[in-house]
Amino acid sequence: MYSQERINAYLNSLERPQNPALEKIRQQALAEGVPIIRPAVQSLLQFFMKLSRPESILEVGTAVGYSALCMREACGESCHIVTIEKDAERIAKARENFAAFGAQDQIRLLEGDAADRLRELPDGVFSFIFMDAAKGQYLAFLPEVCRVLAPGGMIFSDNVMQEGEVMDSRFAVPRRDRTIHSRMRRYLYVLKHTEGLTTSVLPLGDGVAVTVKEGESVRLMSAESPEKEAGSAAARDDGRESAPGADSCGIHSGAVAAGNAAIQKDTAGGKNDGE
């Protein structure tokens, strides 16, 4: 079998050179240790942009604006991008980068925590959502993300494999990483088993989940007690989760509150989940 590292190195090597101005931002971000989208995943993201031509895009996790500029490049001047970031230094750099590309009117940067900013956005307005913020918060963001996503729209969630750790038993994962591990397993389970969503998980880069909202209605599974459910399920070694609580709920149920409460509880350090 090929190692994931070898696959990624090969796929990245196939990428053709990109716009030098974008490449400069990428290099600068890498030199400064800012986490940005990997080349093969960028290529997939741009592929979906060209395939679906979304007019209205939401990104959760701007960093310095690299991926927002990549999406803009792929979908053309007519699309509008809203992107959310909470880190002040990165916000300043992203604004600088958007201005350098003359994109400040096309890309709207919302400052602050995505949990707050998402709640302020109207229903069903985005046809494409790129999830790329703290991985342990994807599950808590999901009800609002489903609410603001238009029927037929797509969610593109990056880094869902957590360098492969997501496949491991909970007990094989360092204690400090178990909360993120449980939440990501639960997130993938909910994406795969929620009525009204269709999801495929791709082992590209650090793992990507692509999800389509089929129609108006999404009956999100409850995120209540995510750690308990995911924890007991994740104790299995075979990568499958046991059936979660049978109840499903509307997207405005207690899911957000439960997810947020779980985030507040997560003070144990562990994997750097800010990115």
* Chain contacts with ligand SAM (rule: CB under 6 A): 35-37, 61, 63, 66-67, 84-87, 90, 113-115, 132-134, 137, 274-275
d(CA 184, CA 218): 20
Query: In the bound complex, what is the minimum distance in angstroms from residue 240's beta carbon to ligand SAM?
Result: 28
The residue sitting closest to ligand SAM, measured at its beta carbon, is 61
Which is nearer to ligand SAM, 73 or 214 (by Cβ)?
73
- DSSP assigned state of 270: -
Closest CB 130 distance from ligand SAM, rounded Å = 7
Query: Which two three-digit tokens encode residue 96?
Result: 């600088």
CB atoms within 10 A of CB 235: 13
Nearest approach, Cβ of residue 197 and ligand SAM (Å): 22
d(CA 81, CA 58): 6
Nearer to ligand SAM by Cβ, of 143 and 244: the residue is: 143
Query: Going along 107-225, which residue ranges are E strands?
Result: 107-111, 126-131, 149-158, 197-202, 208-213
Of 30 and 172, which CB lies nearer to ligand SAM in the complex structure? 30
Q: How far is the CB of 37 from ligand SAM (least distance, A)?
A: 3
Phi, psi dihedrals of residue 225, rounded to the nearest 5°: 45, 50
Nearer of residues 12 and 232 to ligand SAM, judged by Cβ: 12
Least distance CB 87 / ligand SAM (angstroms):
4
Q: Which is nearer to ligand SAM, 60 or 173 (CB)?
A: 60
Rg (alpha carbons) of the chain, rounded to whole number:
18
Whether 158 and 131 have beta carbons less than 8 Å apart is answered as yes
Residue 133 exposed, middle or buried by CB count within 10 Å (0-12, 13-18, 19+): buried
